[in-house]
Amino acid sequence: MSSSPFSDADISSLIDDNVQYPQQIWYTIAAFLFVIGCFQWGLFLHSKFARRARHEYDEETVIANGVHRKFSLRRIPLAVINVYRVVAFRWTLEIGRSYTLNMTEVFVTVAYIVLLLTYAFINTTSAEGQKLDIIFWSNRIAMLAASQFPIITALGTKNNIVSLVTGISYDKLNYTHRMMARTCFMLLWVHGAGQIVSFPFEPWLRAGITAMVAFSILILVSLRPVRSNMYEVFFYVHFLGVLIFLVGGYYHTKGAHGSFWIWPSFVFWAFDRFIRAIRLVVFNHSYFGFKSGTGTMDAATELLSEGVVRMRLRRPPHFHWSPGQAAYLIMPSVSTLPFEAHPFTIASFDSSLLSTAPAEDRSNRDVTGPSAPFWKELVFLVNVQEGFTKKLKEVAARKETVKVFVDGPYGSSPDLGSYDTSVLVAGGSGVSYTLPVFLNIIERVRKGKSSCTRVVFIWAIRGAEYVQWIEEALIKAVRLAPPSLTVSIRIFHHCFIHDAIQKKSSPEHVVTRKNSLSLSFMSLRGVRTENGRPDLDALLKEEVSVTSGRMSVSVCGSQAIARATRHALRFPVSGPSSILNGGPSITLHVESFGYA
């Protein structure tokens, strides 16, 4: 680069700080991740191996709504944990109707920005005494931002070491990936502005400008409105933008210490792609000539309603997943470009639960409709929007079969075996997440692997006919539930759309369904259907009032449903007073509706 008018002392200090400060930031981040990892894995081990302490009831014991409760100061640690859960994950910053940040995300964002800015502006006084010298902080900002490229790249991949260390799935870390990228984007433009006005237009500067233009486009297409409504645009611009940015950044910093931080990003990205390629070959081997015969992974499509498509394909024998996990589907004949991968929650259950049922209760049907037994199939309920899913809807309207490449499974599955009560809340196609979890709870109780005594299944839908998607699975599950497990199914439908569908679509496009529910479903114990939207505040508080011990609430639906659930489980429901008086310790799991 061009010669500098600054003293040798300034240059020496600048070089030393540009090496040491990024390393110190990495030590800070590594220590934070280590603490989070210890906490997460500690909770995991506790959930796996901890044994519930038996309640000792004495003269302080009171009976409220049939639940034994007593005041105990020994529950202070549990009360503290619940206060932390409420403040960290249920207090939220709500922006508009569709964007929500919990306080943990807010804290991490603020702490990260403060950390980078602190290291950017400390010790920026030149040897001549000029404070906040632009050469010091402008160059250092760039070096600090460059040092974050490896972890930003890792957080954006499906198979990353951060998930391994912390036990947090990649989809939960995606907010951190976006936040860190946007923070570095702002820092780099501050650096870039200083470089453009201070140096001639040399090749290293042109490489940096090219990188920043690509980064700017990448940031724009990653905004939620674009990402949600034009996923294909985001997918390919993201791929090309990252490649151009990293290559341009590498040549911009070539010969400086910044290039040291850039090449590991290529390694992390290549490792993730290698793992995903291996998965594709292993789980789709019939397409690659490793097995005689073809078409074993072809998917049958069906248009259940104007807004939902069901896909079914026979899974490979070696493909296993946990309830609530998702898979990426590649459908070259449907997508605009052949390698688009779209995530969807697996709605079927990887188990032989129904195979253990009495002969009169068995049938060759999957979780959500006719065909092979559901433990032999992958089933997806696809929420129709624009782009790819709209094209898939056209295919499903013709009931065509499509070739599918499966990459997965991904995501985490909450371990609910140690909870006394589990409440599952879903809206629309969010049932793709709650149904397998519901079936899993029943199976684990049957096998003596769960201490659950009550499970509540709440589903908000547009029309009663939607129940037929999963009606048979619910019927079988309730019949198989042991007497020790109380099952409550609450269905809320706020309008009948059957007539509207008939007017908008020709008969061959939509499978017509009756508005009435079957007698066999309505006669099940614990089943209730109601018109209108669910009052989640009242429903959840009712469950809290009749529960003691540990309680889990899992929700997958729209932002409105997730917000209502969070609001219902704040203070005083999960407050110290409730816990000290024997109320339940409540854990909340919120899943992204984007997978449903």
pLDDT in tens, 45-103: 766 665 444 333 333 333 444 455 677 777 788 888 888 888 988 898 888 777 888 99
Tokens of 59: 């003269």
Q: Cβ–Cβ contacts within 10 Å for residue 288, how many?
A: 11
Give the pLDDT confidence of 390-410 residue by residue, as tens digits.
889 998 899 889 888 888 788
Query: Which amino acid is located at 8 in the chain?
Result: D
- DSSP H or E segment with residue 37: helix 8-49
Q: What's the CA gap between 201 and 196, in Å, rounded?
A: 8
What are the phi and psi torsion angles at 483 (to 5°)?
A: -60, -25
Query: Which amino acid is located at 33 in the chain?
Result: L
Q: What's the CA gap between 584 and 568, in Å, rounded?
A: 14
Residue 212's pLDDT is 92
Give the pLDDT confidence of 302-355 residue by residue, as tens digits.
988 888 899 988 877 778 888 988 999 988 888 887 778 888 999 988 775 554
Task: Count CA within 13 A, CB hemisphere, residue 177.
Answer: 18
At residue 509, does pLDDT exceed 60?
Answer: no
Q: What is the mean pLDDT of residues 208-217?
A: 92
Q: Collapse the DSSP code of 388 into the 3-class scheme (helix H, G, I; strand E, B; otherwise coil) and give the result.
A: helix
Q: What is the mean pLDDT of residues 423-451?
A: 91
Q: What's the CA gap between 48 and 341, in Å, rounded?
A: 34
At residue 14, does pLDDT exceed 70?
Answer: no
Q: How far is CA 569 from CA 80, 231, 286, 430, 494, in A?
A: 15, 33, 48, 20, 24
Burial letters 145-178, b for 16+ CB under 10 A, else e: bbbbbbbbbbbbbbbbebbebbbbbbbbbebbbb
Q: What is the mean pLDDT of residues 219-223?
A: 91
What is the DSSP code (8-state) at residue 89?
I
User: What is the rounded end-to-end Cα distance, in angstroms, of the chain?
Assistant: 51
Q: What's the CA gap between 574 and 566, in Å, rounded?
A: 11
Residue 84's pLDDT is 85
Number of DSSP helices (H) and strands (E) in the chain, helices first: 19, 17
377-383/308-314 β-pairing: antiparallel
More confident call, 549 vs 561: 561
Q: Cβ–Cβ contacts within 10 Å for residue 129, how many?
A: 7
At residue 517, does pLDDT exceed 80?
Answer: no
Radius of gyration of the chain (CA): 27
What is the DSSP code (8-state) at residue 197?
H
Nearest CA among 277, 276, 319 for reference residue 297: 319
Point out which residues pair with 425 in neighbouring strands.
Answer: 458, 555
Q: How confident is the model at residue 436 (pLDDT cuts 50, 70, 90)?
A: very high
Q: Which residues contact 270 (CB under 8 A, 6 or more apart)?
A: none
Give the pLDDT confidence of 244-292 residue by residue, as tens digits.
999 998 888 876 666 778 888 989 988 988 988 888 888 776 665 555 4
At residue 559, does pLDDT exceed 80?
Answer: yes
Give the pLDDT confidence of 294-315 residue by residue, as tens digits.
445 688 899 888 888 999 888 7
Average pLDDT, the chain: 79
Give the CA-trace dihedral at 245, 250, 252, 256, to 10 degrees: 150
Q: How far is CA 130 from CA 123, 125, 127, 486, in A?
A: 11, 5, 7, 73
Give the CA-trace dihedral at 226, 227, 233, 235, to 10 degrees: 160
Q: Which residues contact 199 (CB under 8 A, 6 or more apart)?
A: 1, 2, 205
Give the pLDDT confidence of 536-549 residue by residue, as tens digits.
999 999 998 888 88
Query: Read out DSSP for 139-194?
Result: HHHHHHHHHTHHHHHHHTSSS-HHHHHH---HHHHHHHHHHHHHHHHHHHHHHHHH
Point out which residues pair with 343 in neighbouring strands.
Answer: 328
Considering the entire predicted model, what is its pTM?
0.82
* Candidate from 121-135, 182-196, 274-288 with smallest mean pLDDT: 121-135
Residue 413's pLDDT is 80
* Residue 582 near residue 551 (C-beta atoms within 8 A): no
Q: Cβ–Cβ contacts within 10 Å for residue 320, how many?
A: 11
Q: What's the CA gap between 379 and 350, in Å, rounded?
A: 11
Q: What's the CA gap between 412 and 417, in Å, rounded?
A: 15
What is the DSSP code (8-state) at residue 584?
P
Give the residue carrying structure tokens 């149904």. Answer: 435
Alpha-carbon torsion 272, 278, 284, 287, what sign?
positive
Residue 507's pLDDT is 40
Task: Count CA within 13 A, CB hemisphere, residue 14.
Answer: 23
Residue 261's pLDDT is 84
Give the pLDDT confidence of 445-487 residue by residue, as tens digits.
998 888 899 999 999 988 878 888 888 888 888 888 999 999 9
Nearest CA among 275, 33, 37 for reference residue 176: 33
Q: Collapse the DSSP code of 424 into the 3-class scheme (helix H, G, I; strand E, B; otherwise coil) and give the result.
A: strand
Q: How far is CA 406 from CA 165, 202, 429, in A?
A: 26, 46, 20
Nearest CA among 231, 397, 395, 246 for reference residue 328: 231
Helix axes 559-568, 536-545, angle to 10 degrees: 40
